């Protein structure tokens, strides 16, 4: 059962979008992405000399007429790609009011999975620390994805890098990797996570989501005991209006640092706020990043 936000109208609009990759990958079945493999397809790739055994139908007879040499046309094969979705389920994703941040991560995962599944891609779902890597194929599998996401609960802090490495190693074919997280972790850890995804040559897109509470953490309170949702660390904090602005700037600096690291590692970085409309985020932010078109 899909969440209520996925109305028929929204689904119809989402169906018009397509997952793209900035690189071509070898797939294992016919699909929608141009594969490096030459073979049958629509896209002309090159000529090569006829060799015994080639299908005579592929001989370019016009060229034979002009040059008296037999050449056969080759095409770029269109194959599927694997789309790996790594969704952060640590406690920090569940702290915002009404679990808005987690719900946005869940909805994005579902939307991207739905688009991918419609394109006959293999969707691999990784919720670090909660379950093993699961693979889905076919549009109907979106409901299975939804059920797994629905059952997701906050997990204890873990070795995120190792979890990601395990997920990546489970992929039989390289493809697209999408990391959905708030990435409110030290930059070193962000580096490790993206590096782990890039280690198998995946086309990585990092989607960083922040909620209103992340940007203005003590809304309505100028003095509070801030408790870290994951480590449980407690800090007495006071924020006046100037300090709030300072805090916001520092958060945005952290986002920029994450984007910088992603760029350096050849990954795309997309930042989004929970309050933004879902389809607008898909069609604008992710299209701009080259993940959708």
Q: Provide the binding-site residues for other proteins, judged by CB under 8 A.
A: 92-93, 95-98, 100-101, 182, 184-186, 211, 213-214, 217-218, 220-231, 233-240, 243, 246-247, 250-251, 254, 275
In the complex with other proteins, the residue whose CB is nearer, 79 or 89, is 89
CB 216 within 8 A of CB 248: yes
Nearest approach in angstroms of CB 262 to other proteins is 17
In the complex with other proteins, the residue whose CB is nearer, 45 or 237, is 237
Nearest approach in angstroms of CB 237 to other proteins is 5
Angle at 105 between CA 99 and CA 109, to 5 degrees: 140
In the complex with other proteins, the residue whose CB is nearer, 258 or 262, is 258
Nearest approach in angstroms of CB 121 to other proteins is 31
Q: How many CB atoms lie within 10 A of CB 80?
A: 22
Instruction: Classify the phi-psi angles of 158: left when phi > 0, otherwise alpha if psi is within -120 to 50, otherwise beta.
Output: beta
Nearest approach in angstroms of CB 34 to other proteins is 40
CB 184 within 8 A of CB 92: yes
Rounded Cα gap, residues 106 and 87, in angstroms: 8
Among candidate residues 124, 87, 119, 92, the one with its CA nearest the CA of residue 206: 87
Structure tokens at 248: 């916001």
Nearest approach in angstroms of CB 276 to other proteins is 11
In the complex with other proteins, the residue whose CB is nearer, 132 or 253, is 253
In the complex with other proteins, the residue whose CB is nearer, 146 or 209, is 209
């Amino acid at each position: 059962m899909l969440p209520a936000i996925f109305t028929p109208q929204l689904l119809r609009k989402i169906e018009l979008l397509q997952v793209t990759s900035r690189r071509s990958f070898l797939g294992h079945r016919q699909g929608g992405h141009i594969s490096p493999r030459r073979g049958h397809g629509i896209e002309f790739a090159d000529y090569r000399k006829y060799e015994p055994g080639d299908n005579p139908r592929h001989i370019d007879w016009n060229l034979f007429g002009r040059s008296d040499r037999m050449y056969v046309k080759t095409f770029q094969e269109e194959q599927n790609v694997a789309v790996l979705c790594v969704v952060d389920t640590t406690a920090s994703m569940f702290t915002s009011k009404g679990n808005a941040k987690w719900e946005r991560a869940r909805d994005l995962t579902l939307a991207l999975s739905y688009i991918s599944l419609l394109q006959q891609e293999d969707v691999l779902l990784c919720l670090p620390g909660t379950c093993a890597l699961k693979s889905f194929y076919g549009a109907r599998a979106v409901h299975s994805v939804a059920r797994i996401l629905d059952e997701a609960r906050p997990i204890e802090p873990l070795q995120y890098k190792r979890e990601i490495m395990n997920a990546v190693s489970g992929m039989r074919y390289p493809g697209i990797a999408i990391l959905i997280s708030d990435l409110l972790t030290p930059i070193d850890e962000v580096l490790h996570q993206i590096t782990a995804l890039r280690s198998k040559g995946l086309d990585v897109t990092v989607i960083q989501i922040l909620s209103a509470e992340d940007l203005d953490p003590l809304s309505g309170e100028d003095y509070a005991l801030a408790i870290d949702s994951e480590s449980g660390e407690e800090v007495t904090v006071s924020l006046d209006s100037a300090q709030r602005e300072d805090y916001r700037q520092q958060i945005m600096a952290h986002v920029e640092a994450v984007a910088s690291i992603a760029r350096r590692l050849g990954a795309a970085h997309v930042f989004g706020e929970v309050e933004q409309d879902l389809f607008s985020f898909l069609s604008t932010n992710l299209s701009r990043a080259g993940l959708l078109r």
